[in-house]
Amino acid sequence: MTLIAFLFCVVVGKLFYVQLVDGQKLSAKALDQWTRDLPLVARRGGVYDRNGILLAGTNTSYSLYARPVEVVDAPSIAECVSEVLGLAYEKVLAKVSKSGVSEVTVAKKMTKEQMLAIQERGLAGLHFSRDIARYYPYGDLMCQLLGFTNVDTYGQTGVELYYDTYLRGVDGCQLTPTDIRGVHLDESTHYLPSIDGMNVLLTVDKSIQFFAESACAAAMEKHGAKGVSCLVMDAVDGGILALAQSPGFDLNAVPRDDVETLFANSKISAVSNVYEMGSTFKILTMAIALNEGKVTLNDRFYCAGSREVDGQKIKCWRAKGHGSQSFAEAVQNSCNCAFMDLALRVGVDTMYEYFRRFGLTATSGVDIAGETSGLLLAQERVKNVDLARIGFGQAVAVTPLALVRAVSACVNGGILLTPHILKGVYDPSGALVQNGYGGGVRVLREETSATLRELLLGVVAEGSGRLAGVEGYQIGGKTGTAQKYGEGGIARGKYLSSFIGFLSYDNPRYVVLFYVDEPQGYLYYGSQVAAPYVGEIFANLLSYLGEEPATREDKQEIVMPDWVGKSYAEVEKEARKLGLYLETSGEGEVVTYQFPVAGTVCTLPCVAYVDLP
């Protein structure tokens, strides 16, 4: 009796488990056995630039399936399909007549016209489904930022990944009740319609992106660099207008066979990599010192080629020094000694407080995957010698995006913005679903920003940034040449050469950062490797905006003299007389190399370089 009771409890328990615990799973299995379904694939939303130009779209095609048990006239089907699609009659006949299968794929990637031509014949046993494939009208344009999808059109990188939830949509299906052989049990067919993905409108401008990418490709080819990048940001609302990077790849032919290279070329260095940005970082040191009243335009600085801090000798980039100079001249000369003095005047605690205000110690919140925060020494461990180096852009590493964001605040009146690429998300009917980002916080006084703009204008008009200028327009900016580190020390011959500039003084709207990673050869200063391309981008941008750059009939041309073998003192005097800005490398007295080379016809303004080993 006890055994019977035990067995009864086991049976009841099993029934309870099957019906209540495992019931939903078993019901699903049963439904799958009783029905045949065809997928109704959702159309992936499009990605557009700020002007509504399509950057990533979806091609629709159709697949043809046959259910052999439903086929009534296999020869007629084979004749129709082979005629419309140009397929071999025998192969089609074999497929639609195949036994032992419930469903067989007859053809894929049919056009809508082909699908309708077959459908209108009303042949029993044939079914259709919609397929989609991603395509990019401009090939490699914006390849890192846009990203790409997998074969199922799920986002894998870039915008395609970050906004995949909006773009993807929801697939549907067509359900038909059948028996175990696949024969219809009744005439009913149930449709679960797909929901197409939403459209994403970016802040990026295709034309500005093209200007930036063309400049990157040109710099890459000329300087044989490891990589070149350019970031253009709207200093008023924080929208990213262009994010270019070379080398790239064709989004319509993603090189998936070399995963390592694909990953390297897909990574957005401006967002994911941190660098010692060198002298472009000096803009922030200037801003902090001015905002805290630690420097005025009347202050003077003396540079003998180095400073001794905490018993350590720290060199200026110009080993022979800049001598006595005003604050404006120190900015134009990018004098390391002057910026060491500024940092030491401000002090560690105040500098780090501003770094936090500028967002350097955290991520910016940009809607791009993979963003990293800056790398700073722990505040409590910073010594004066460290602070001095930080003042001119060493011993502190930030992402290029973080630098652009902070510099935008320096020139736009003092407002720190959240950089972003989303302008809006729209459903298939065109209704707005989500806006982009906006707003900001004040980090500097307006008068500080105005003074900074004035000083940075001088860098382009009179200093090392001359090649970034556009005749007739007020452009400000700062050059940067940073040594790179590797294997525990300075990597010989490896530099990050950069220029960051803004347009214009009265209405600073466009901020451009251009940087060349490890240019090859003698040329590595940002003034010669990066600044000219920013000038080119600004000239194209002005033309695009309908503000043609001014031209002058009296542009002065000079023929470069032969300086090789001459003394530095003689060369410096001659360069000043010719109106050339002179950059040097080394501490020797005799020139062994010059650029441009002797005999080159140069149009002023021009930056010259000499080597003094």
What does the block give as tokens for 510? 């466009």
**Residue 338 contacts by C-beta under 8 Å, 6 or more apart in sequence?**
301, 303, 325, 327, 330, 331
Residue-level pLDDT at 579? 83
Contacts of range 481-490, beta carbons closer than 8 Å, 24 or more positions apart? 481/278, 481/279, 481/317, 481/524, 481/525, 481/526, 481/527, 482/275, 482/276, 482/277, 482/278, 482/279, 482/393, 482/394, 483/276, 483/278, 484/275, 484/276, 484/518, 485/276
Mean pLDDT of 145-162: 93
Mean pLDDT of 5-30: 53
pLDDT at residue 133, rounded to an integer:
86
Most confident of the ranges 107-121, 274-288, 541-555: 274-288
- Average pLDDT for 226-248: 97
Residue 36 has pLDDT above 50, yes or no: no
**Whole-prediction pTM value?**
0.84
What is residue 458's DSSP assignment? H
Cβ–Cβ < 8 Å for 248, 265? yes
583: pLDDT confidence band, cut at 50, 70 and 90? confident
Has residue 565 got a pLDDT over 50? yes
Q: What mean pLDDT is reported for the chain? A: 88
Does the pLDDT value for residue 95 go beyond 70?
yes
Distance from C-alpha of 504 to C-alpha of 549, rounded to nearest angstrom: 13
Helical residues (DSSP H) of 267-347, grouped into ranges: 269-272, 282-291, 327-333, 336-346
Whether pLDDT at 5 is above 70: no
pLDDT in tens, 37-73: 556 678 899 999 999 999 999 988 888 988 888 888 9
3-state class of 364 per DSSP? coil
The angle, 0 to 180 degrees and rounded to 10, between the axes of the packed helices 112-119 and 74-85 is 160
Residue among 60, 164, 149, 160 nearest 113 (CA): 60
Q: What is the average pLDDT across 294-309?
A: 95
Domains of the chain: 36-202 (3.90.1310.10), 206-551 (3.40.710.10), 554-613 (3.30.10.20)
CA atoms of 14 and 297, how far apart (whole Å): 88
Q: What are the pLDDT digits (tens) for 165-187?
A: 999 988 776 655 555 444 555 55
Give me the pLDDT at residue 516, please: 97
Average pLDDT over residues 366-376: 94
DSSP 74: H
136 within 8 A of 158, measured Cβ to Cβ: no
Helices (H), 399-551: 400-411, 446-462, 526-529, 531-544
**Residues composing the chain:** 613
Residue 322 has pLDDT above 80, yes or no: yes
Q: How far is CA 401 from the centre of its chain?
A: 9
Give the residue numbers marked as catalytic.
279
pLDDT at 549: 61
Whether pLDDT at 27 is above 60: no
Residue whose C-alpha is closest to residue 544's, from 293, 242, 113, 306: 242
Rounded distance, CA 459 to CA 283, Å?
11
Report yes or no: 309 and 345 within 8 Å, Cβ to Cβ: no
Q: Above 70 in pLDDT, residue 24?
A: no
pLDDT over 90 (residue 506): no
Supply the DSSP symbol for 200: E
Whether the per-residue pLDDT at 392 is higher than 60: the answer is: yes
CA distance 545 to 536: 14
- The token duo for 389 is 């180096």
* Gap between the Cα atoms of 155 and 19, Å rounded: 39
Binned at pLDDT 50, 70 and 90, residue 551 comes out as low
Tell me: pLDDT of 300 over 60.
Answer: yes
Q: Tens of pLDDT along 418-450? A: 999 999 999 999 999 998 887 899 999 999 999
Does 153 score more than 50 pLDDT?
Answer: yes
For 151, other C-beta atoms within 10 Å of its C-beta total 8
530 backbone φψ class: left, alpha, beta (φ>0; ψ -120 to 50): alpha
Per-residue confidence (pLDDT) for residue 553, from 0 to 100? 53
Cis peptide before 497 (omega within 30 of 0): no
Cα 390 to Cα 392: distance, rounded to the nearest angstrom: 5
* Residue 29, pLDDT above cutoff 50: no
Q: Using the predicted structure, report yes or no on whether residue 257 has a pLDDT greater than 60.
A: yes
- What percent of the chain shows pLDDT beyond 70? 89
Q: Which residue has the higher pLDDT, 177 or 230?
A: 230
